[in-house]
Structure 1
């Protein structure tokens, strides 16, 4: 192979390694909820500075947090089947390189948000980054089985960030969007934790199924799914959304409860995986329904 072609292949592989550090699928979901928060904040079109610079800033900050998360968790990731092939455990990217990459992403995101959006969004985005990358990953994750409940506040911030990027203020509807994701996060993540409980036990991370058992965790997934259905109807109850959204929320929530009941009644790990996958579909569907209802 010619030297130039070999160098090009190496550069392409390197680029993919850094992209994987950003957890692009997770960040894509984060950015989707942020975009919905922006669009719900105004009756018409979102200002271009908020839409472009705001979303890019939120994307880069979320990516920075994801990289820091993997640097801190590299040793545990190397012992877990789901994560052992990530760039840091395999050694294709060093911890120093990853931290430098995270710093660049974080600094650029803050500059974009401060210069082109507003200070409130920059401050809240930085707080969310620190909340996930440091408070949750470095402390809460290994301190308490309620880690994902408490740490879920950082993951629930994106629609609020999208909202403030447009309005410059934190308003009650934005807090409803925050509450939906905050309540959604535990059953979403606990379904995965049930599937991977042996791996979490191996690396001494006190996830709920490790500390309290699978039956206890299954029950709590079901209870949270019921609570989530109630919380998801708050936008309709407060007249922020109309009946098209309410119908979608009931159907999506009922399906989530159905999966949670199946999970509660079985020890099949495939049902846990299916519940986890549906939880992602649920959140995307619910926020899409909010958006459709908004423009209807």
Structure 2
């Protein structure tokens, strides 16, 4: 089954094509950060219905945004080596099928959020869909090399959405989690864009390595990695983490953030060699940061209960 996604369209199970539309690996990481946001929003465990159905709602709307992105980008996806095997370019699915699928799971996700969380969470989640599938995919991506910086706000929303699903309002802690992913996104994506520069140039997409060159982009990746490192050290001062575990989070964040800065530094020295390693480690870094926050949260609660 692990190799089924690489099979020709005629031999692939139909449901696999629809799953691919949702960008499951991307959504899985987003969902993890959303769940962490839910668990950090309260000193007690959130209601199981909010946790389960709120997570499902956020995942479905995120999957809908991803499917709409496939729909909008089908022309350039057919040109780029990285994406020409997606369901639309290879003819496994048609535009009406993808549009109907995106609408169905988007509406289902929004309904779950309205029923099991709160209107603010539902509104912000739909807003992130519009930001990604509409503002970023339709407009920013094709008009400015700062597309991923501006459009990154939609991708940075999941932990804030999770927090709001539980608390019903936006707090400083939720905004900090949002900012962490917002600052992480350009460094993460531009490393990949350096590796795929020729693809983007062929497709006519004005990504930063295409418009400003690889050395300039590598320098920006390093700047964002440094900014991310500074930002991830703020949870202790603002009280998002506290107690003995707060220092454990801070040391862990400094370690992973420092390692990401090291990768970004090597990227600047040798972009061809270090673009993909930097991209891959950026994912490890984000996952580790949120895992550390979650571990510290429950460690602090456990110590307080002693």
Q: Please state how far the C-alpha of 1:12 moved relative to its aligned partner.
A: 6.8
Aligned to 2:63: 63
CA distance in 1, matches of 2:42, 2:59: 21
Partner deviation per Cα, 1:104-163 (whole Å, 9 max, x = no partner)? 011101111111211111000000000001100000001100000000100000001000
Q: Please state how far the C-alpha of 1:267 moved relative to its aligned partner.
A: 3.5
The count of aligned residue pairs is: 287
Question: Which blocks of at least 5 consecutive residues in structure 2 are unaligned?
Answer: 1-9, 300-306
Q: Please state how far the C-alpha of 1:234 moved relative to its aligned partner.
A: 1.1
Question: What is the TM-score of this pair, normalised by structure 2?
Answer: 0.92
CA distance in 2, matches of 1:131, 1:52: 25
CA distance in 2, matches of 1:191, 1:11: 34
CA distance in 2, matches of 1:293, 1:129: 31
Aligned to 2:295: 292
Are 2:186 and 2:224, in contact at CA under 8 Å, matched by a contact in 1? yes
Q: Which range moved further: 232-241 or 276-285?
A: 232-241
CA distance in 1, matches of 2:226, 2:117: 37
Aligned to 1:5: none
- Is 1:255 aligned with 2:259? yes
Are 2:194 and 2:271, in contact at CA under 8 Å, matched by a contact in 1? no
CA distance in 2, matches of 1:279, 1:134: 26
Q: Please state how far the C-alpha of 1:237 moved relative to its aligned partner.
A: 1.8
Question: What is the TM-score of this pair, normalised by structure 1?
Answer: 0.95
**Secondary structure of 2:85 counterpart:** coil
| Equivalent residue in structure 1 for 2:249, among 245, 266, 275 | 245
After superposition, residues 185-196 of structure 1 pair within 5 angstroms as 185-196=185-196
Aligned to 1:278: 281
Aligned to 2:163: 163
CA distance in 1, matches of 2:138, 2:79: 18
**Secondary structure of 2:145 counterpart:** coil
CA distance in 1, matches of 2:193, 2:129: 23
Question: Which blocks of at least 5 consecutive residues in structure 1 are unaligned?
Answer: 1-9
4+ runs of 1 displaced by more than 3 Å?
A: none
Q: Please state how far the C-alpha of 1:46 moved relative to its aligned partner.
A: 1.5
Say what the alpha-carbon RMSD is for the aligned residues.
1.3
Q: Please state how far the C-alpha of 1:239 moved relative to its aligned partner.
A: 2.2
CA distance in 1, matches of 2:224, 2:247: 23
Q: Which range moved further: 232-241 or 133-142?
A: 232-241
Aligned to 1:97: 97
Q: Please state how far the C-alpha of 1:45 moved relative to its aligned partner.
A: 1.2
Q: Please state how far the C-alpha of 1:44 moved relative to its aligned partner.
A: 2.1
